[in-house]
A and B are shown apart, each in its own frame.
Chain A
Amino acid sequence: MQKRSIVPILYILFLMLPIYWLVAMSFKTTNEILSGFSLFPQTFTLDAYRTIFTDPTWYWGYINSILYVSINTVISVAVALPAAYAFSRYRFLGDKQLFFWLLTNRMAPAAVFALPFFQLYSAVGIFDTHLAVALAHCLFNIPLAVWILEGFMGGVPKELDETAYVDGYSFPRFFVTIFIPSIKAGVGVAAFFAFMFSWVELLLAKTLTAVAAKPIAATMTKTASSAGYELGLLAAAGTLTIIPGAIVIYFVRNYIAKGFAMGRV
């Protein structure tokens, strides 16, 4: 082994350590976890996973999370596409200010919006629905998606639009059949980030749901308090929470590099 590879290997080891610990814990019994230090599971068990996949309060947590995250991703990208097109192709009064204002939404803490959203959604009767969380998460995901997509659209020459019009394409047809395919990397990156941020956001998701749309993260905290320390079960739930993100990142890994190169990610 070359000397120069030691540092990155150590770095990766340290990075992976907590994740390894989480995965290892999920295969241990709670007694073993509490009894002392062990690098590998002494009594290997799949009980924790069995519980999650059979108990509806557990697996519905995942289904709820995936549902509202998917709805949010679709809304965010669908709304951001035309908005980003306007920002990248037209000059209008206050366009730069509006663009910056959109970004500031990204910077506001979610806690600020929790109470008004809670009150508003209760009043209109969408409290504790998947749509409630999906809409709330648009607050920070649409600005992000607009920002990312505008960067990618800026890389497409305006002459492409003109060529399409000359060739007879109407605007909607051009937008859907030519423009979106030519920035599909950007759409992938924007969708990925919308997915990730919605997936990891906890405060709004917990505040805006009670039973019917309760996210997995909320299930995890509640189980911890009611049934004492079921650490094996929690570790298994945590492990499963990482998986969707890992799958999505696998599909967009090449696009993300492109996004970094553009300075928009």
Chain B
Amino acid sequence: MTLELHNVTKRVGANLHIKETSLVLEPGHFNVLLGATGSGKTSLIKLMAGLDPLASGTIKMDGQDVTRLSTQKRNISLVHQFFINYPHMTVYENIASPLKVAGMAKSEIQGRVEEAADILQLRPMLHRRPHELSGGQQQRCALARAIAKESKAVFLDEPLANLDYKLREELRDQLPDLFAGRGAVVVYATSEPEEALLLGGKTALMQDGRVTQFGPTAEIYRNPENVDAASVFSDPPINTARIEKRGDAAHLGDVSWTLSGVAASLADGPYTIAIRPHHVLPLPSDTANVRMPGEVQVTELSGSESSAHFEMGQGSWVSLSPGVHPYQVGETHEFYMDPTACFVFAPDGFRVA
């Protein structure tokens, strides 16, 4: 089973909500759609599910053109961000409902429902109604319905976004196992870069209704193709700055450093660099050796990590370092950047080094 999108677009009025998008999604791993709110993740999922009409393009499942096929006939599952269950049915009836509609025999339904309920630890709640369950259990019920159906494609639209932290972690750890070995294409939409990294598989970065980059998650994280991809896949936001390359040196205001590797062989001129906050550190090291004095604006301490927002010249920067670091707001502090961790982009936004 593969899910293929060819030049798919979606139009609302005069606006293109999804601009020409082509993707080939395969089973066996998570296909993560990563993008900010409003980047088109839900729109794209609705197109794949057949809930919204395409303006152009084709969708193929298993090589079959399903562009004009109704949602009901596509054999798919969908789990929403909000915990959507049928309120007047018990958990058992909820999980069984797609099977019942498909006309499956009672005994087989029971087997499948119980299997799904066991995997998601819903056994004791089978005869309760959704509103008698906690948020996490309600979402597990929705997931159980998707699993019991054994559909060809499963769409998970930010399924963990409305859960509290602990439950989210717990369920996220379970998710890859839930769908492993079922042969279904799993599409998972999220706005959190960390979630994409934890789920592994492949990631499609989305921005303004288009997929900017698609590939194995770790690969995309290490090698963003353009500035947008780098900024989508970073939390806290990636630092960007305009530099001037002259000879083998990069100049950023008063700060300058020697370029190495591919970056050194670029033509002279203006470039944009992007560097993740954890490569800008409050103490120098062998690699982090470019001194950047800045005025500390905001500091945050989250458990074992310290972050500082500071201003240097015209730009504002974020530093994220392990350990507790005592910053004073308003003081001038020296930060150290690792120049080898910089992504370098040409003025048109594409990565050159």
Are the chains A and B members of one assembly? yes
A159 in the interface, Cβ–Cβ < 8 Å? yes
92-127 of chain B: CB within 8 A of chain A: 97-98, 101-102
A165 CA / B86 CA spacing, docked (Å): 12
Nearest to B72 among chain A residues (CB) is A168
CB A54 to nearest CB in B, in angstroms, measures 45
Task: Name the A residues within 8 Å of B87 (CB-CB).
Answer: 181-182
- A-facing residues in B59-103 (Cβ within 8 Å): 70-72, 74, 76-78, 80, 82, 84, 86-88, 97-98, 101-102
Complex Cα distance, B70 from A5, in Å, reads 62
Residues of B within 8 A of A159 (CB): 80, 82, 84
Instruction: Answer whether residue B145 sits at the interface, using C-beta atoms and an 8 A cutoff.
Output: yes
Instruction: Identify which of A160, A169, A184 contacts B101 (C-beta below 8 A).
Output: A169
Can you name the residue of chain A whose Cβ is closest to the Cβ of B86? A178
A3 vs B174: C-alpha distance in the bound complex, in angstroms? Answer: 60
A90 to chain B, nearest CB (A): 14
Measured between alpha carbons, how far is A157 from B82 in the docked complex, in Å? 9
Query: B51 an interface residue at 8 Å Cβ cutoff?
Result: yes
Return chain A residues, CB-CB under 8 Å to B70: 165
A184 touches B88 (CB 8 A): yes
In the assembled complex, which residues on chain B have CB atoms less than 8 Å from the CB atom of A162?
A: 46, 49, 51, 71, 78, 80
- CB of A170 within 8 A of CB of B72, answer yes
Does B210 make an interface contact (CB < 8 A)? no
Instruction: Tell me whether A50 is interfacial, beta carbon within 8 Å.
Output: no
Q: Which of B71, B86, B101 contacts A173 (CB 8 A)?
A: B101
Contact across chains for A166 and B78 when beta carbons are under 8 A apart: yes
CB distance from A164 to the nearest CB of B (A): 8
Instruction: Give the residues from 134 to 187 in chain A that come closer than 8 angstroms, CB to CB, to chain B.
Output: 157, 159-160, 162-170, 173, 178, 181-182, 184
Residue ID in chain A nearest B51 by CB atoms: A162
Q: Report how many residues on chain B are interfacial, defined by Cβ distance under 8 Å.
A: 23
Tell me what chain A mostly uses at the interface: helix, strand, loop, or mixed.
helix
Does any Cβ of A come within 8 Å of B152's Cβ? no
Residues of chain B lying within 8 A (CB to CB) of residue A165: 51, 70-72
Determine the residue in chain B with the shortest Cβ distance to A162: B51
Judge whether B149 is part of the interface by a CB distance below 8 angstroms.
yes
Question: Across the interface, do B72 and A169 meet the contact criterion of CB distance under 8 Å?
Answer: yes
A179 vs chain B, min Cβ distance (A) = 10
> Within the assembled complex, what's the spacing in Å between the Cα atoms of A167 and B78?
8
B101 near A167: Cβ-Cβ < 8 Å: yes
* Cβ contacts under 8 Å, B78 to chain A: 162-163, 166
A residues less than 8 Å from B84 (CB atoms): 157, 159-160, 163
Which residues of A lie under 8 Å from residue B88 when comparing CB positions? Answer: 178, 181-182, 184
A44 to chain B, nearest CB (A): 49
Contact residues in A for B76 (Cβ distance below 8 Å): 166
CB B101 to nearest CB in A, in angstroms, measures 4
State in angstroms the CA–CA spacing of A184 and B88 once bound together.
Answer: 10
Instruction: Give the chain A neighbours of B77 by CB distance below 8 A.
Output: 166-167
Interface residues in chain B, defined as those with a beta carbon under 8 Å from any beta carbon in chain A: 46, 49, 51, 70-72, 74, 76-78, 80, 82, 84, 86-88, 97-98, 101-102, 142, 145, 149
Interface pairs (14), CB distance under 8 Å:
A159-B84, A162-B51, A163-B80, A166-B76, A167-B77, A167-B145, A167-B149, A168-B98, A168-B102, A169-B97, A181-B87, A182-B86, A182-B87, A184-B88
Seed contacts A162-B80, A184-B88; 11 additional CB < 8 Å A-B pairs: A157-B84, A159-B82, A160-B86, A162-B49, A163-B80, A163-B84, A166-B51, A166-B74, A169-B72, A178-B88, A182-B87
